[in-house]
């Protein structure tokens, strides 16, 4: 476990493959309960960031919902299907209404993502995610008629966040 992972209080005390699998709706529900009213685009980016850091630090996906490379960065399509056209969200009535599907370490990762991005709006996070190599590769190099359909795989996201974790460690050492 990296020093960055330990800095958010991860215990690392879990058995690989034993965590209850959540879905993106569970994560969105948890985030909205923590933040209250939020831009839909910010919710999307926080869920993506939580997925990435969960993959980098716990080595397992937080959820299996498909993430696509869209014009405004990574989008969890199943969430978009529920909020499409809405700019702000006050609640999320999908997924598990409580947080029992999330492990203590998963909650710590999500909480750290929320805290570290609290001062940013959704479009700040769009700009941030546009710097991710995975998004650039999938979106910018896609045929124009395929943009928005390209899927960011779990493995590609893990590699991206491993790279970001390495950069974070170099910057703080």
Residues 121 and 126: their CA atoms lie apart, in Å, by: 9
In a domain, 104, yes or no: yes
- Give the range of the structural domain holding residue 162, as residue numbers without chain letter: 19-172
Assigned token pair, 153: 């795989």
In a domain, 53, yes or no: yes
Alpha helices in the chain (DSSP H): 3-7, 24-35, 40-58, 77-83, 104-116, 122-129, 133-135, 154-172
Does any domain span residue 46?
yes
Question: Is 7 within the bounds of a domain?
Answer: no
Give the separation between CA 34 and CA 149, rounded to whole angstroms.
Answer: 31
Q: ∠ CA 47-39-155 to the nearest 5 degrees?
A: 20
Q: Does the residue 14 lie in any domain?
A: no
Q: Is the residue at 127 inside a domain? A: yes
Q: Say if 1 falls within a structural domain.
A: no
- Record the pTM: 0.88
pLDDT of the chain along its 173 residues, tens only? 565 666 666 655 544 454 557 899 999 999 999 999 999 999 999 999 999 999 999 999 999 999 999 999 999 999 999 998 899 999 888 877 788 889 999 999 999 999 999 999 999 999 999 999 999 999 888 888 878 889 999 999 999 999 999 887 777 65
**Count: domains in the chain:** 1
């Amino acid at each position: 476990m990296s020093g960055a992972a330990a800095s958010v209080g991860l215990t690392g005390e879990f058995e690989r493959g034993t965590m209850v699998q959540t879905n993106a709706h569970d994560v969105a529900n948890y985030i909205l309960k923590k933040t209250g009213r939020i831009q839909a685009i910010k919710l999307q980016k926080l869920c993506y960031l939580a997925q990435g850091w969960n993959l980098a630090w716990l080595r397992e996906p937080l959820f299996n919902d498909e993430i696509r490379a869209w014009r405004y960065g990574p989008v969890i399509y199943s969430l978009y299907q529920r909020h499409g056209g809405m700019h702000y969200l006050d609640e999320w009535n999908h997924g598990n209404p409580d947080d029992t599907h999330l492990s203590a370490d998963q909650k710590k990762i999500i909480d750290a993502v929320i805290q570290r991005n609290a001062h940013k709006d959704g479009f700040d996070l769009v700009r941030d995610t546009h710097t991710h190599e995975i998004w650039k590769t999938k979106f910018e190099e896609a045929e124009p008629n395929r943009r928005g359909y390209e899927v960011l795989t779990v493995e590609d996201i893990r590699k991206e966040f491993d790279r970001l974790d390495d950069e974070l460690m170099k910057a703080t050492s």
